[in-house]
Each structure stands twice: as structure tokens, then as C-alpha cells.
Structure 1
Amino acid sequence: MTAQQQADEHLRRSRQDLPVAAQLLHVVADLLSDYQPEQPATTTALGMAFTAAGSEILAKYPRAVQDHALDRALAALPNEANLPIGITGGELALHLRKAAGSLT
């Protein structure tokens, strides 16, 4: 196992004990920061990241848990008024990780 694989596995294990909503926000943040993090964040990119994260995280749970986790994650999202105009995907990812921390 490479050092990168070990780090990824450690990160996965550390997140598995978090609430489902926090796990979802972390995966959304990972996707935004992994894919062109220097580009301005768009609602399309955020929606695509939520869709991908939902299929990865939420698909493992019953519908009631999925709905509750998604509601909590969306409620924890930073208000648009609190975000700078032209925020990049990488910067938005930092805000999402902070929001995920508030859900623990």
C-alpha cells in the first residue's frame, strides 16, 4: 500500500464515525477541491458535487436517513451573503468543511 493509499484510508476511517450530513459535506468539499479548485465555484459544480457525494454516501442508508442528512447538510451550508464574490471551488471547500465540523 502506497503512502497516498494509506492516507486516503486513514481519512476514510476518521470520517466514518461522523454524522451522515457531515460525511456528505466532506465528500462535496473533496470533490470541489479536487476538480479545478482555482476556478470560480458555480451552482452547477456544487450541484454536481452534491449528486456525486449523495450517490457515494447517502446510497448506503435508508430513505429517511438520506432525507434527514441532506436536510441537515443543506441547512449547514454557508449563506451566499457570507461568501465573497468569485469564490473558488477550493475556497468553497474550506467553508463546507467548516460547516461539516459544526454538525458533529
Structure 2
Amino acid sequence: MTHRTDLAQPDEALRRAREDLPVAAQLLHAVADLISDHQPEQALTTTALGLAFATAGANVLAQYPGAVRDVALLRALAALVALNDDSLTQGVTGGEYALRLRLAAKAV
């Protein structure tokens, strides 16, 4: 039987590990978490990706000054462009795209 505290420790360790990442990487990981947590086997839409970015941005970027937010957002978007794929028009699932975002986060 898994208890709530059993899940909290790994989640807390992951949160702490991500704090050391660049802010843009934190943002990309947060977006990846959101799209992989909600129906990861379904095809990802641009609307769902946009909502995930808006939610992750509000959660992650809100704690930083404006200049940091601006640079982080530009770097995260550049990482998306660097993916240079048309996977959203190819029916990629949220889980697959989340993996791509986590890979892109390593480059920022």
C-alpha cells in the first residue's frame, strides 16, 4: 500500500533538483509534467500545449523578476524552435512530446 508521504518524498526531491536548473529548463520541465500528467496517450494539440505553457509560466516564472522571466521564456521558446519538428501536426502524444521537452530542457 502506498501512502501519501511515500509519494511526497520523491516529488520533493525532484522539485529540489529542478531548482538548480536554469529557469528556462524549469519551465520546460513544468510544461512536460503538465502534458504528460493529463492523458499522455492522447494526441497533443496546440491548445493543450499553450495552456500547459500558460499554467507552467504562471507557476514557475512568477517567482522571478521580470528580466529573468523574459530571458527564460525566450530561451524556452528557442528550445522549442530548435526541436524543429512538426510533431503537433503529426499527432504526437502528450507523453512523447513531454520527452522531447525534457530533452530540449538540457540544451537551455
TM class by shorter chain equals over 0.9
Aligned length: 102
Gaps of 5+ in 1: none
Q: Distance in 2 between matches of 1:22 and 1:73?
A: 7
**Equivalent of 1:39, from 29, 34, 42?**
42
3-state SS, counterpart of residue 80 of structure 1: coil
CA-to-aligned-CA distance 1:72-104 (integer Å, 9 cap, x gap): 0000012234x371100000000000000112x
- Normalised by the size of structure 2, how large is the TM-score? 0.90
Give the corresponding residue for 2:7. 4
Q: Is 1:59 aligned to residue 100 of structure 2?
A: no
Give the corresponding residue for 1:79. 84
Give the corresponding residue for 1:99. 104
Percent of aligned pairs sharing the same letter: 64
CA-to-aligned-CA distance 1:21-66 (integer Å, 9 cap, x gap): 0000000000000001011011100000000000110001111111
3-state SS, counterpart of residue 37 of structure 1: coil
3-state SS, counterpart of residue 39 of structure 2: coil
Report the structure number with the largest CA radius of gyration: 2
Q: Provide runs of 4+ in structure 1 moved above 3 Å.
A: none
- Normalised by the size of structure 1, how large is the TM-score? 0.93
**Equivalent of 1:14, from 17, 22, 32?**
17
Gaps of 5+ in 2: none
The CA RMSD over aligned residues, in Å, is 1.2
